[in-house]
Amino acid sequence: MIVVRTVADLRTALRESRAGRIGFVATMGALHEGHASLLRAARADSDTVVMSIFVNPTQFDEQADLAAYPRTEEADLALAAAEGVDVVFAPSAGEMYPAGFATTVSVTGPVAETLEGAQRGRAHFDGVATVVTKLLLAVLPDAAYFGAKDAQQVGVLRRLVADLNIPVQLVVCPTSRDDDGLARSSRNARLGADERARALAIPRALQEVADASASGIRDPEVLRGRALDVLAEALIELEYIAIVDPVSFEPVAAVDGQALVAIAARVGRTRLIDNTLLTPGGP
């Protein structure tokens, strides 16, 4: 495994890999089993696996959140090596955003402007879209792997790739969860024992909605009510719970086809997101 810090060195390192399939996993470091599952998926499909480590400052709406984000490069590189990564791209902020940088990639419409876009501000998904565009152009992978937990981010990136004709396959892998059901996140490390126990109400609420939908309930407000009851018992500070079209992220009037249930909430000072896909009549 080699580690490179500049786009020029990355392109040199990958020059001979272009004959085979290149898989790419973008990360902000602080790697956990969720990231490892993406790396394994990329390894199974690819001749060369590239992973990036870059804490992207432009997608943080709270400077305190950016400052608190863990930087664990030594441990991250050890995990990457263990999962068979070939090249790690770990640039500085100056490499990604050099002096005079003046371009922003912006996706518009409900997919970028609702839920996370509304809660965290327009700049959040602009930051995501811009940095992912830069990373894809630097790596030029055949496939890029993302987790389903960040469903709206995936929606934004699908729109981005389609609109800009970027020749990459987006592979969405299932949400990685701990044994207790909590979706894996670098932020989980901030939860105290009591907070973690309360946070488990989030996956329980999603399961309650899924069970209610499977029983034949189609009214989004009734389904939301089921989730709200579960969350209220755990004293979760809810930011939103929405039932939306999984592609457009527009609200659905009835759950007659696939629908995404998305939750964002704070447990103590830790902000968590999670979601589940409803498929009425499906397997």
List active site positions: 35
Q: How many helices (H) and strands (E) does the chain have?
A: 12, 9
Q: Record the tokens describing residue 143, joined without a space.
A: 């496939």
Which residues are registered as beta bridge partners of 244? 251, 260
End-to-end CA distance of the chain: 41
User: Which residues carry a binding-site annotation for (R)-pantoate?
Assistant: 59, 153
CA nearest to 142, candidates 47, 41, 42, 23: 23
- Pairing verdict, β 48-53 and 87-89: parallel
DSSP code, position 6: S
- 185: exposed, middle or buried (Cβ count in 10 Å: 0-12, 13-18, 19+): buried
Taking CA atoms, 85 is separated from 7, 36, 39, in Å, by: 18, 10, 7
Helix axes 220-233, 201-214, angle to 10 degrees: 150
Q: Which residue ranges are tagged as binding site?
A: 28-35, 59, 147-150, 153, 184-187
Query: Dihedrals φ, ψ of 96, to 5°?
Result: -80, -35
Phi, psi (degrees; rounded to nearest 5) at 240: -160, 155
Specify whether the CB–CB gap between 274 and 175 falls below 8 A. Answer: yes
Binding site as annotated, residues for ATP: 28-35, 147-150, 184-187
Q: What's 175's DSSP letter? A: P
In whole angstroms, how far apart are CA 269 and each of 61, 95, 192, 200, 272?
Answer: 15, 32, 10, 16, 10
